[in-house]
Chains A and B, each alone.
Chain A
Amino acid sequence: MGGLRRYILRRLVTLVFVVLCLLTIMFALFKLLPGDPTAIFVDNNFSLEMIDRTRHAWGLDAPWYVQYGRYMLNMLSFDFGTSFFQVAPVKGIVAEKLANTCAMMLPALFLSVILGTVIGAVAGWKRGSAFESGTIITFLFLRSAPSFFVGIMMLMVFSYQLHWLPSGGMVSPGSAGAFWDMVLSLDFLKHLILPTLVVFSREVTGPALLLRSSMLEVKGSDFLDVLRAKGLPPAAIIVHATRNALLPLVTYVAVTTGFIFQGQVVLEIIFAWPGVGRELVTALNDLDYPVAQAAFYLMALTILFLNFIADVLYGLVDPRITYH
């Protein structure tokens, strides 16, 4: 276990170094972006004195190293400052939007991993069967279909033509309230169905195809012959085989979960979902540095952290892996 502790410590140090580099690169990139964030923020009929005062009020007139120092300290203490445009704390803005995105993505991702694993395992186990061929063809088709196309088609059919499901938003017009009040309502579930179906139709293909390939490798292993010789029923053997085939899925799930925090800009626009993806695009267009920086930082942190967890979990899931 001492090896594992050393490994975790080493990875943590690397993680901190990567975060510092990331923050520095982000600062430089935002500074290199063409355009002045005050271009939209100040009215073009302002006097020069007013523009100067505005730049001073937002700290944009300080030398770059002072801005860098303030930025690093603030980011590391998770103080993201105030949005240029919304004149509200960035933390609240990003947290709200992140929660909305999670509310859309997590159910779909959960379903995708569970069902994708089962379907992939069965398809791999039944190598050469009609089920396997059908699964591959269907899933490759779903994986190739662009989300915006699937989303618009679903809206056209289920919302505009059949009027079965709402066409967008998290809740019906006029019902928006506090986050938990909305999320725990039946109305929300109705609004969640179409986006979930679109995300699911794409995300289910990853674990399914991955597990199918992994299963093919495990299928010829000696330990399965031992299990058969012990007289275990086929279903139990599949479970054992699946457990051994799961390893690549750990990384996949960790990385995919990290990426959902980027938001799904296209889906958020199609389904009028107030998520973090839309917020980020708006912030970048408006040069609202504080919001964009906070969103990027949180996304990167989440991906780094989940990768770190995946690395540690490897050892726990697969006892063959040891740490020196």
Chain B
Amino acid sequence: MKILPQPAANSSAALRHRSGKGLAWTLLAALLLGAWLAPASAWAQTKDDFQFVDPGIAKVYRDQKGYFADDPKWREMTYPRIQWPKKGERVPDFEVLVTPAFPFWLDAMRKWAQDAEKIGLKYKITQVSLTRWLDSVNKHYYGDVELHPAVPRVERMDPSEWLTSRAYGPDRRNYGEWVNLEYDKFIRAQAGASTRKTRLTLVQDAQAVLADDLYITQLGWGPSIVQAYNSADWEGVVKARGFGISDSNMFWTYLKAKPKGSRHRIVVGTRDLVDTLNITGAGNLFRAIGRMIYDRLGYLDEQLNTVPWALESWENVDDRTWDVVLRDGMKFHDGKPVTLDDLKFTLDFMMKYERGIFWTANQYLESAEILDPKARTMRLRFKQPYAEFETSFVVLNVILPKHLWEGRMEKEKLTDPRQLAITQPIGSGPFKFVRHRKDTELLLAANKEHFTAPQIDELLYVVVPSVDGELGRLESREIDFTEDLNLTPSQAKQLTGIKHLTIVRSQDINWFHAVPRTSWLPFRDYQFRLAWQHLFDREFLVKVVWEGEGRVPASNTFLVDTNPWNNPKLPPVPAFDLEKARQILKDAGYSWDSEGRLLYPDPDNKAFIERVNQVVKPGYHWGGLKMAPR
């Protein structure tokens, strides 16, 4: 066919052509308008479309600027899922975010998604960067099921860190938006408990509610902590529960290790080093290293019990007041003595600027007053009964040198201490800062005058950005320990037999769990949650993905069996059993369509309506989001 030249502009063909073009433009405009209007209509919900059972919870969910009912995106995601399903409506696909920072999530989730399909459920798994995942989790945009691992840090040793932040009704980090009023009572009570024994009982009671109401599901306990080190050159390594032999959060090895030969410098490989040397704004690693340079008030022993450090002792005066005694004879690295004035300055500074990660430890501090300078005693008063004193406040706070920090904020006209440029941190800790070259290395020297003076002379952190690089350098003896390398069994096997290396296994307190969005359908239905918990082949995660280095969870708790706060009497996790899950769903009124997809129970199924309105297991009381009116 020959293409003829375009006819004259005023010919009928040209007009037709033009009108065709016009039609295309009109259609495009309509499409754009539609696309614009669609989200607009979805976003048209207001705060009033979201009602809550408990007035206190309603305040949290409706008044927080930019969150929950004040966030159009949250409203858009949530609104359709609190509508009553129509007759024959399918249970929607479940959205799950995974991040390459934890590759085992995707490996396990693929298998679990295949299993779920066998009973008519589909997952939509999306891979995002760590930052995007964190952002989605913080804003509650993660979809239906939030996956989360436990990454042990000193900041997370207090049981509240998980119990409160992940499950307490009014907490913004309660990602499943689960509001069990009985659970919340236990959480409030344990936060104000005056003795550890009372607190343990309350913490265990809270765990019992959590497990009984099937809020979270534990997918695996672990992975285990398997590390390698150069045993030809070093002896006396210390295994710390939950952290292993070479984690700067628990630096006992660097204090106790003795050289076997003439080399007195330990070289530690790390994939990442520090972003800033300012401890008030640092990320995890320099907070940990910073607490080796600045003395902390108390420390944790290998079994995670709080032990005295810069504080010689502390005494509970009443449930809001503690008297503490500063250790005698401590000196900063520049030779100046550590005094109560330094401690008072530090605590006042933290209170004034509500600073960084220290916020957790200081948000309840009301005052710090020197009682007797000669006896080195100070009185600390808190705004409310404060059970986290030993496990959080004492362990996290450090002593800053007043003579170097005082007046700097005002002089430099700063409002945020994180903006302080600290190039040469000076503390009183067991290690002195020597030098740092970003993304290359950081050198510390032993403070031989310290009350726990290290046996070594120097500690050098060297950046090795890849796992293969760390393994290679362990093999070639260029590094002695690794900061962040938890070996897989295959990697451990690769290193076994190398004469100068020893493989060490330490007790972990880790877990990997899934949190369903209990505030929306279908997870509002307790029977659905029960069936859903039967869909996870946890042995697959432990035996295949983790290659045996982990445990099938015994119960649904954050505080696993190796955690000192564990409740050993919890019910077991529902076992992997697809047939049982199918039966539970069938009995609860769910059905399947011709394609095998799961359908909601009939809209007039009274038991279903009651379960969805109640959300929590019978016997407990729901305080969270209500369904939309029928």
Find the A residue at minimum CB distance from B477: A163
Of the candidates A83, A168, A286, the one whose C-beta lies within 8 Å of that of B469 is A168
- Contact: A54 with B416, CB < 8 Å? yes
Asked if B135 contacts A174 (CB within 8 A), the reply is: no
Q: In the complex where A173-B267, A177-B437 touch, is A167 in contact with B131 (Cβ < 8 A)?
A: no
Known A34-B132, A39-B138, A285-B129: A50·B359 in contact at CB below 8 Å = yes
**Is the C-beta of A36 less than 8 angstroms from some C-beta in chain B?**
yes
B455 at the A interface (CB under 8 A): no
**A45 at the A/B interface (Cβ < 8 Å)?**
yes
User: With A87-B419, A176-B437 in contact, do A159 and B463 touch (Cβ < 8 Å)?
Assistant: no
Q: Is B628 positioned at the interface, with any CB of A under 8 Å from its CB?
A: no
Select which of B129, B165, B462, B466 is within 8 A of A270 by beta carbon: B466
**B418 near A87: Cβ-Cβ < 8 Å:** yes
How many angstroms from the CA of A57 to the CA of B421 in the assembled complex?
16
Residue from A43, A52, A272 in contact with B356 in the complex, judged by beta carbons closer than 8 Å = A43
Among residues of B, the one whose C-beta sits closest to the C-beta of A285 is B129
**Min CB–CB distance A163 → chain B (angstroms):** 7
User: Which of B65, B172, B441 is A173 in contact with, Cβ under 8 Å?
Assistant: B441
Partner among A45, A85, A167, A170 whose Cβ is within 8 Å of the Cβ of B359: A45
Q: Does B46 belong to the interface (CB within 8 Å)? A: no
Q: A45-B173, A46-B359, A50-B359 are in contact. Are A272 and B267 (CB under 8 A)?
A: no
Q: How far is the CA of A152 from the CA of B281 in the complex (A)?
A: 36
B306 within 8 A of A: no
Measured between beta carbons, the chain B residues less than 8 angstroms from A36 are 135, 139
Q: Which one of B65, B128, B435, B464 contacts A168 once the chains associate, using CB atoms below 8 Å?
A: B464
Max chain B Cβ within 10 angstroms of own Cβ: one of A152, A169, A170, A177: A169
Query: Is there contact, CB below 8 Å, between B421 and A174?
Result: no
> Would you give the 0/1 interface string for A44-65, flagging 1 where the beta carbon is closer than 8 Å to chain B?
1110101011100100000000
A278 part of interface (Cβ distance < 8 Å): yes
Bound Cα distance from A121 to B450, whole angstroms? 68
Residues 168-203 of A contacting B (Cβ, < 8 Å): 168-170, 173-174, 176-177
Complexed CA–CA distance, A271 and B439 (Å) = 12
Task: Tell me if A169 and B134 are in contact (CB < 8 A).
Answer: no
Q: Compute how far the CA of A317 lies from the CA of B472 in the bound complex, rounded to whole angstroms.
A: 49
Tell me how far the C-beta of B496 lies from the nearest C-beta in chain A, rounded to whole angstroms: 17
- A280 and B128 CA atoms in complex are apart in Å by 18
In the assembled complex, A160 has its CB within 8 A of some CB on chain B: yes
Instruction: Report yes or no: A40 in contact with B134, Cβ–Cβ below 8 A.
Output: yes
Within 8 A of A (CB), among B478-503: 478-479
A152 to B468, CA, bound (A): 9
Q: Are the CB atoms of B469 and A272 closer together than 8 Å?
A: yes
Interface residue tally for chain A (C-beta within 8 Å): 49
Per-position 1/0 for B549-571, Cβ under 8 A of A: 00000000000000000000000
User: In the docked arrangement, what's the CA distance between A243 and B19, Å?
Assistant: 59
Cβ of B278 < 8 Å from any Cβ of A?
Answer: yes
Q: Does B438 have its Cβ within 8 Å of any Cβ on chain A?
A: yes
Q: Given A173-B441, A278-B465, is A167 in contact with B135 using a C-beta cutoff of 8 Å?
A: no
User: B10 on the interface (CB 8 Å rule)?
Assistant: no
Tell me how far the C-beta of A96 lies from the nearest C-beta in chain B, rounded to whole angstroms: 7
B421 near A87 with CB under 8 A, answer: yes
B165:A87 contact, CB within 8 angstroms: no
Of the listed residues A83, A93, A97, A173, the one surrounded by the most CB atoms of chain B closer than 10 A to its CB is A173
**Assembly CA distance A268 to B463 (angstroms):** 12
Q: Are A45 and B438 in contact (CB under 8 A)?
A: no
Known: A48-B67, A87-B418. A270 touches B469 (CB 8 A): yes
CA–CA, A83 and B244, complex, Å: 33
> For chain B residues 266-301, which have a beta carbon within 8 Å of chain A?
267, 275-276, 278, 281, 283
Interface membership of A269, Cβ < 8 A: yes
Measured in the bound complex, the distance between the Cα atoms of B281 and A46 in whole Å is 13
User: Distance (Å) between the CB of A214 and the closest chain B CB?
Assistant: 39
- The residues of A that contact B439 with a CB separation of less than 8 Å are 97, 274, 278-279
A144 at the interface (CB under 8 A from B): no
Q: Which residue from A39, A155, A270 sits with its C-beta under 8 Å from B135?
A: A39
Those of B568-617 within 8 Å (CB) of chain A: none
Q: Evaluate contact between A269 and B465: CB separation under 8 angstroms.
A: yes
CB-based contact B443/A155 at 8 Å:
no
Is there a chain B Cβ closer than 8 Å to A104's Cβ?
A: no
A85-100 with Cβ < 8 A to chain B = 85-88, 93, 96-97
Q: A44-B138, A87-B419, A285-B131 are in contact. Are A176 and B440 (CB under 8 A)?
A: yes
**What is the minimal beta-carbon distance from A236 to any residue of chain B, in angstroms?**
50
Contacting B at CB under 8 A, from A116-169, are: 152, 155, 159-160, 163, 166-169
Contacts of B441 in A (CB 8 A): 169, 173-174, 176
Q: Is the CB–CB distance between A173 and B131 below 8 Å?
A: no
Q: Are A45 and B165 in contact (CB under 8 A)?
A: yes
Q: What's the nearest-Cβ distance from chain B to residue A19, in Å?
A: 29
Q: Does A109 interact with chain B (Cβ within 8 Å)?
A: no
Chain A residue numbers with a CB within 8 Å of B462 are 169, 173, 272
- Evaluate contact between A174 and B67: CB separation under 8 angstroms: no
In the assembled complex, 26 residue pairs joining A and B whose CB atoms fall closer than 8 Å, in A order, are A34-B128, A35-B132, A35-B135, A36-B135, A36-B139, A39-B135, A43-B357, A43-B360, A44-B134, A44-B173, A45-B165, A57-B416, A87-B278, A87-B281, A87-B421, A96-B438, A169-B462, A169-B463, A170-B440, A174-B443, A269-B466, A272-B463, A274-B463, A278-B439, A285-B130, A285-B131
Chain B: residues with CB nearer than 8 A to chain A?
64-67, 128-132, 134-136, 138-139, 165, 172-173, 265, 267, 275-276, 278, 281, 283, 354, 356-357, 359-360, 415-416, 418-419, 421, 435, 437-441, 443, 460, 462-466, 468-469, 472-473, 475-476, 478-479
The 3 A-B pairs at the shortest CB distance, nearest first, are namely: A39-B135, A274-B439, A176-B437
